[in-house]
Amino acid sequence: MIHPSVEAFGLAAALLALGAALVHRTGFPPLPAYLLVGLVLGGRLHVEALEPLPSLGLLLLLFSVGLEFGPDRLGQLSQRVLRAGFWDALALPLGAGLGALAGLDWRGALLLGGIVYASSSAVIVKLILDLRRATSPESEVVLGVLVFEDLVVAVLLVLLGGQGGVGLLAGVGLALLYWLIARWMGPLLSRAVEGFSNELVLLAGAAFVSGSAALFHTIGASEGVGAFLCGVVAAGLGLRERLEHLFGPVRDLGVALFFLTVGAQALGLLQGAGWLAVGLAIMGLLLKLPLNLWGAKEAGLSPKRQRYAAVYLLPRGEFNLVLGALALQGGYPLAAQVAVMLVLVSIPLGSVLMRYAPDWFGKSRRLASSESPRQA
């Protein structure tokens, strides 16, 4: 008799393929289609049966982010990222202020601040890869800001998750250890794995990523940060291209299933949402745009690239859902509803803006340049 998880996977894969096929000819990123499939399925699909593929896909996507930033590249981008990340991080206290005005206590307000602040590394990286913009100047700044965000939110999760200072210090210590491995032992380890077969590299890499994620989770830190640091170490070993080739298909399948599960679980969290939640979601969506515009300017991007960077950081995703679940467990349903609304609205909206921003901004510049001689 066939296992129920195989049945669930077959149905999910078929529906995801249909959604991807509908947007394929338009050149549009498929993530919103995956989310829509999950919304349509609702409670008719037992998403728990799909595990661990969705969780693995998310970890591999964050691992891919780390691959893009080896130790040397992170050092080169640090000053630009810190300038842009500082302005981006102002969304955290501003979002917490919105929560305080809405009547939440300090913990609920801080959770809402994190929900407003955290952009989605998973969504944004996938869109950048799908649109083939990984080497553009704004993408480098955006990916660096996402790393900065992930570290800030990881600290926030430790503080709000009840792990205390011990978990935070342990996470920092582990991150430092991984950084030192990538920085100082890279050449030695690179020579050691150079002759490994693709099968061995694939299995060892999967064990490294999943084991690191479990280790970080055990000590109360973010498993996403653990997966990211694995990518940094692998990039330091010179394995970027090889691991991208080996893990890419598995990552894409897992990410598709992850966003299907997000859509399938979203409707239940939105029951009873009122106008206050809608208003907070709208303000949270708009709050970061001017901050990211200014941060991109401080990072040295041109005006055109500043607008691109601000648009790229619009989508919310995995950390918002984690913080939303924590808010729901802590008795803050308003914050959880805002988190889900931001995810459902920002992913399709951000995908559209990212896809067409070069055309729209380019058209506006061409119109301005064609009108200026006549005005003169």
Q: What is the DSSP string of 269-338?
A: HTTT--HHHHHHHHHHHHHHHHHHHHHHHHTT--HHHHHHHHHHT----HHHHHHHHHHHHTT-HHHHHH
Is residue 97 in a domain? yes
- Cα separation, 328 vs 213, whole angstroms: 24
Q: Per the structure block, which two tokens stand in for 327?
A: 């808010």
Tell me what the mean pLDDT of segment 283-294 comes to. 92
Tell me what the mean pLDDT of segment 67-94 comes to. 77
Please tell me the least confidently modeled range out of 16-20, 61-65, 245-249. Answer: 61-65
Check residues 117 and 8 and name the one with the higher pLDDT.
Answer: 117
What was the pLDDT predicted at 167? Answer: 61
**Structural domains of the chain, count:** 1
What was the pLDDT predicted at 19? Answer: 81
Is residue 23 in a domain? no
Tell me what the mean pLDDT of segment 304-315 comes to. 89
pLDDT greater than 90 at residue 273: no
What was the pLDDT predicted at 43? Answer: 66
- Cα separation, 340 vs 217, whole angstroms: 23
- Cα separation, 58 vs 38, whole angstroms: 16
What was the pLDDT predicted at 134? Answer: 74
What was the pLDDT predicted at 101? Answer: 93
pLDDT greater than 90 at residue 91: yes
Is residue 373 in a domain? no
Tell me what the mean pLDDT of segment 249-257 comes to. 85
pLDDT greater than 90 at residue 294: yes
Is residue 255 in a domain? yes
Is residue 372 in a domain? no
What was the pLDDT predicted at 72? Answer: 59
Give one DSSP letter per residue of 152-207, joined into a string. Answer: HHHHHHHHHTT-HHHHHHHHHHHHHHHHHHHHHSHHHHHHHHTT--HHHHHHHHHH
Tell me what the mean pLDDT of segment 312-335 comes to. 81
Range of the domain at 257: 4-18+30-40+50-356
List the CATH number of the domain containing 79: 1.20.1530.20
Query: Which amino acid is residue 245, in one-letter code?
Result: H
Is residue 365 in a domain? no
What was the pLDDT predicted at 374? Answer: 42
State the chain's mean pLDDT as an integer: 79
Is residue 368 in a domain? no
- Cα separation, 157 vs 108, whole angstroms: 13
- Cα separation, 232 vs 23, whole angstroms: 33
What was the pLDDT predicted at 141? Answer: 86
Is residue 362 in a domain? no
User: Do 201 and 239 contact (CB within 8 A), yes or no?
Assistant: yes
pTM assigned to the model: 0.68
Provide the percentage of residues in the chain whose pLDDT is more than 70: 82
